[in-house]
Structure 1
Amino acid sequence: MELLHLLKYCLLCLVLTVTILRFLLPPKPPEAAAKLPPGPTRLPIIGNIHNLGAKPHRSLADLSKKHGPLMSMKLGRITTIVASSPAVAREILQKHDRILSNRHTVLSMKVLDLHKFSMPLLPAEAKWRNLRKVCNSYLFTPQKFDSYRELRRERVLELLEDVRLAASQRPGEAVDIRRAAFRATLNSLSSSILSLNLGDVERSETAREFQEHVSGIMEEVGKPNLGDYFPVMGKMDLQGIQKRMKGHLENVLNLFQWVIDERVRKIKSDELYVSPNDMLHTLLAIGDDGEGTAAMDPLCIKHLLWDMFVAGTHTTSSSLEWAMAELLRHPDNLAKVKEELDKNVGKGNHLHESDISRLPYLQAIVKETLRLRPVSPLLVPRKASEDVEIRGFIVPKGAQILVNIWAIGRDPVVWENPDSFMPERFLGSMIDVRGKDFELLPFGGGRRICPGMSLGLRMLHMMLGSLVHWFEWKLPDGVVPEKLDMEEQLGMALHKFKPLLAIPREDGKISYKKD
């Protein structure tokens, strides 16, 4: 082991020497550098890596106040352009969307060639266009969502039952909101996608292992990797991130392959088989339609399953946790939404998806949470496919592009009291989260907008509204609302650093029943 570590350090020294020599070569002409947007002073070798800190979205927001809403940096060897205003975001995501819609992919997402199959990571070319059409035409249509409505409602009822049992059997004991939300979200997704329950870790070893590997993937992707900043180090994997990522990813993809193989076997066998109405069956049934949609092979299907699970679980559960935390910090807002639910849903009645349109304050709370705590504060990094001019500056070909929607959501030019939780700002407002209003872009915009946005919003409104409607909530003893820890941690998603613990008490004014 000592020899192995020595070899790694020798290789690292060699790489650093080569890197230093490259910096000693004659620099680019000053005219070319002057065309880049302004930015902070760069240090030799590392460039501006030291400016990122542990919370890059906050550090970049602070830097943009000095250097402007279009800023350039050098992260190791990677030229990076940062957008921090609605106007600049519009230029990137709308005006120049075609040129700036490819992906800058980190090394952990290249493990097992994930970047060659995963829809969010593919370049905006034929394979990606086919997957987008499959999602928009077959998976994420209003008709398909409606067909899973009752299934989603059952998963929300299971969440309520879990919390109710905790409240009755262990009165006064706090519930981990993140864990409960993650389980409910995973149950809903796995049921509608695979007709399986991957959230029940108490009864299923498969579910336990699946959650363990998905959490491991999230952890590895969220770690800073030297190879992302210095490509020459990439294959060395000095931090072991790619190796661990490969192990987790192989297990997840192998599970999906097994599920696909079993489904195909049942479909082809002579045994009586009633196909479940799930997304996997839809994917297997897709054939060449003569209008540009190609049939889905098992390799593409299992990677699309990966995309849907990763994009749909941690994002929705994190948003729910942030929303509950904000409501517990602001009891007046919590009382207002409970009053709205009592009035429009009715005591003793369960919330239905059809009720959401009649709950403007609940919708406002979701929007305000996504403004203040976007789960992907820098969106998925984009990459310029050619030079493009924006506001008199050049975004060079190959540059990484970050859209800091966290900074945009707290821009004092756009938002009054931007750091305050004020759902009322959205009452009567036409600003929405669906990518058309560049002041609020939690799901991105342009052709790379999240295709599962509508499904995530349905689940978020249903779970949040049901938890608030059904229970009285309070913080554990000794925790006052004003002092609730709201520290955040940025990994693959923006999480609350300390899980939210809250004590439920079943509202005595209503009785638990499944209507």
Structure 2
Amino acid sequence: MIADLAHGVFDFGFSSILFGITTSLLVVWLMKWVSKRRKINRPPGPMTVPWPLHLIGDLVMLAQGTNPVVMLCELNKRYGDVVCLDNGGTRYIILASPEVVNEALVKQAEVTSGREEAWEFKAISQYHGGIIFSEGEEWIQHRRFGLAALRNFGMGKKSLENSINEEARMFNEILLAKIGKPFDPFFAVNNAVSNIICAITFGQRFEYSDPKFKDMIKRINFFVAEDPPQALSNLPTFIDNARRRNIRAIRKFLEDEVMEHKTTYDSNHVRDVIDLYLKEINRAREAGEKCKLDLSKAWPLVFDFFLAGTETTSTTLLWAFLFMAGRPEIQKKIVAEINSVVGSSATPRYEDRKLMPYTEATLMEVLRYRPIAPGGVPHRATSDLKVKGYDILAGDNLMMNILYIHHIPEIWGDPEVFRPERFLSEDGKAVVKHDAYMPFGAGRRVCLGEQLAKMEMFLFFTNVLQRFRITLPPGVKPNYDYGHRVTTLLPKAYEVILEER
């Protein structure tokens, strides 16, 4: 019994000593951590304020913010134009004024043009290279190739303009079948816009009824719409779910196209972006150049073209058609301008926009009011830097809050009013630029396909309004709220009625 008691005392003493050592080490670590943080001037935010009551209040706000876009705007309203948000160990610096965006992403572009590793996506799909999810020399070479490819296949040229107008004509034929009855334009718009990227990357368009094409469009939309919790994204790769099956299906579709191109490739007859990519790989190999382009990276490049070139433009057009249905007086002015410059039967041309300031201003107002990507795609700081006196550390992700910037009352006066005139000169004859207008991002990672997107938006928009009057179903009021998305700001599902002019 005495032996048992002594043994118990020994155990208690050892446990106490172990607990004491652990506690002491933890206290020392916390003191060093606090001391270090005091030396670093971090931006304010829900995870950096010192008082527990403030932290609890912010966490409640975060929990209630069912739409992340709304939550981010609330953070900037509360803390200012530079906010630090820690999302499960990943730090985001939210930039919410033209001044801090310019200071961070333009003036210090050499250290703010990185891109965070998309761990789950890359692990599931073996995505390597590309433009959107890469950085460093690999990103530089692929972006350079992407720009060259877009120019080569007609960006800003008559050939691409003709392709867009032809697709718009076929799109209008689809709309003719919908005359007089309410319909949701979502899939028709997505299919039409996607066919432009298909023509550039695959060398062909697809019929809207093609099952493989329809499946691909749905999968791309699902990829953009899905925003899984951080914990689900960090699950081991052997755990399967719908998102991961969707990623693998997208990869297979695009890899099949790449392999088909490899089989039929003819260096003397370059059909599309994939052929051009193959040609550049061969050229660099023969020249003995150090090249990051590789056959295994062809499908990621095509994926980036699809992701950036389909969802974004189609979403903007969906907003534009909704605003036209809800604001008939604006639609009437645009149609009058189309009839004056283009006529009622001639095909619109991209150069016509120079004589159509009201139409161009309206599309700009659509992108201001409901920007394509409200937070852009975050940049990653590759070195420590300062923004507005705050310390931004290497590895931090810098996110533009474009939606917030586009709705600052001090800049726009009446930001919640849809008013194209804000982009027009006093006489209404010229388009006026604004420093705070940045729907395509800023810095070195500004949208690669900006010019293509602008051409598509103008030509599809004018082709449709030239031929159809867009209204809402009787008794239905326009709803300009946005659905639950993070990457793009999609309008809630709606129906319109078309009447032929």
CA-CA distance at 1:295 after TM superposition: 7.6
Cα distance between partner residues in 2 of 1:267 and 1:344 = 43
Alignment match, 1:216: 222
1:133 to 137, 144, 147: 144
Is this contact kept in 2: 1:115–1:122, CA < 8 A? no
- Relative distance call for 1:215 and 1:262 in structure 2 (3 A) is same
Cα distance between partner residues in 1 of 2:59 and 2:122 = 22
Cα distance between partner residues in 1 of 2:420 and 2:482 = 21
Cα distance between partner residues in 1 of 2:288 and 2:353 = 36
- Relative distance call for 1:88 and 1:349 in structure 2 (3 A) is same
Q: Which amino acid aligns with 2:132?
A: P
Alignment match, 1:459: 456
Q: Which amino acid aligns with 1:26?
A: L
Q: Which amino acid aligns with 2:357?
A: P
Is this contact kept in 2: 1:382–1:402, CA < 8 A? yes
Q: Which amino acid aligns with 1:279?
A: V
CA-CA distance at 1:131 after TM superposition: 0.7
2:365 to 365, 368, 385: 368
1:315 to 302, 312, 315: 312
- Relative distance call for 1:180 and 1:174 in structure 2 (3 A) is same
Alignment match, 2:129: 117
Indicate the SS of the match to 1:380. coil
Q: Which amino acid aligns with 1:119?
A: I
Alignment match, 2:186: 178
Gaps spanning 5+ residues in structure 2: where?
Answer: 1-24
CA-CA distance at 1:329 after TM superposition: 1.9
- Relative distance call for 1:121 and 1:431 in structure 2 (3 A) is farther
- Relative distance call for 1:320 and 1:24 in structure 2 (3 A) is farther
Alignment match, 2:30: 26
CA-CA distance at 1:446 after TM superposition: 1.1
Alignment match, 2:440: 443
Indicate the SS of the match to 2:106. helix
Residue 25 (structure 2) pairs with residue 35 (structure 1):
no
CA-CA distance at 1:303 after TM superposition: 0.9
Residue 172 (structure 2) pairs with residue 160 (structure 1):
yes
The Cα RMSD (Å) is: 3.0
Give identity over the alignment, percent: 23
Cα distance between partner residues in 2 of 1:354 and 1:344 = 11
Alignment match, 2:396: 399
TM-score by length of 1: 0.82
2:265 to 261, 264, 267: 267
- Relative distance call for 1:291 and 1:439 in structure 2 (3 A) is farther
CA-CA distance at 1:399 after TM superposition: 1.5
Indicate the SS of the match to 1:98. helix
CA-CA distance at 1:496 after TM superposition: 1.0
Cα distance between partner residues in 1 of 2:386 and 2:120 = 31
Alignment match, 1:492: 487
Range with bigger deviation, 412-421 or 211-220: 211-220
- Relative distance call for 1:187 and 1:368 in structure 2 (3 A) is same
Cα distance between partner residues in 1 of 2:151 and 2:124 = 27
- Relative distance call for 1:142 and 1:360 in structure 2 (3 A) is farther
**Residue correspondence of structure 1 range 402-421 to structure 2 within 5 A:** 402-421=399-418
1:225 to 221, 230, 248: 230
Indicate the SS of the match to 2:92. strand
CA-CA distance at 1:332 after TM superposition: 1.4
Residues 153-211 of structure 1: CA distance to partner in whole angstroms, max 9, x if unpaired?
110101111111221xxxx212322222101001222122212334x352x23223322
Is this contact kept in 2: 1:377–1:494, CA < 8 A? yes
Residues 76-102 of structure 1: CA distance to partner in whole angstroms, max 9, x if unpaired?
322321111110010111111111111
1:196 to 187, 200, 204: 204
CA-CA distance at 1:25 after TM superposition: 5.8
Cα distance between partner residues in 1 of 2:175 and 2:121 = 36
Alignment match, 1:244: 242
Q: Which has the larger radius of gyration?
A: 2
CA-CA distance at 1:470 after TM superposition: 1.0
- Relative distance call for 1:189 and 1:244 in structure 2 (3 A) is same
Is this contact kept in 2: 1:151–1:192, CA < 8 A? no
Residue 468 (structure 2) pairs with residue 505 (structure 1):
no
Alignment match, 2:235: 235
Is this contact kept in 2: 1:473–1:503, CA < 8 A? yes
- Relative distance call for 1:385 and 1:151 in structure 2 (3 A) is same
Residues 264-319 of structure 1: CA distance to partner in whole angstroms, max 9, x if unpaired?
22236xxxx99464222222222229797848432222111000011111111110
- Relative distance call for 1:355 and 1:190 in structure 2 (3 A) is same
Gaps spanning 5+ residues in structure 1: where?
Answer: 1-20, 229-233, 508-515
Alignment match, 2:10: none
- Work out the number of aligned pairs and report it: 461
1:95 to 100, 107, 119: 107
Residue 93 (structure 2) pairs with residue 81 (structure 1):
yes
Alignment match, 2:14: none
Is this contact kept in 1: 2:482–2:489, CA < 8 A? no
Alignment match, 1:5: none
Is this contact kept in 1: 2:382–2:395, CA < 8 A? yes
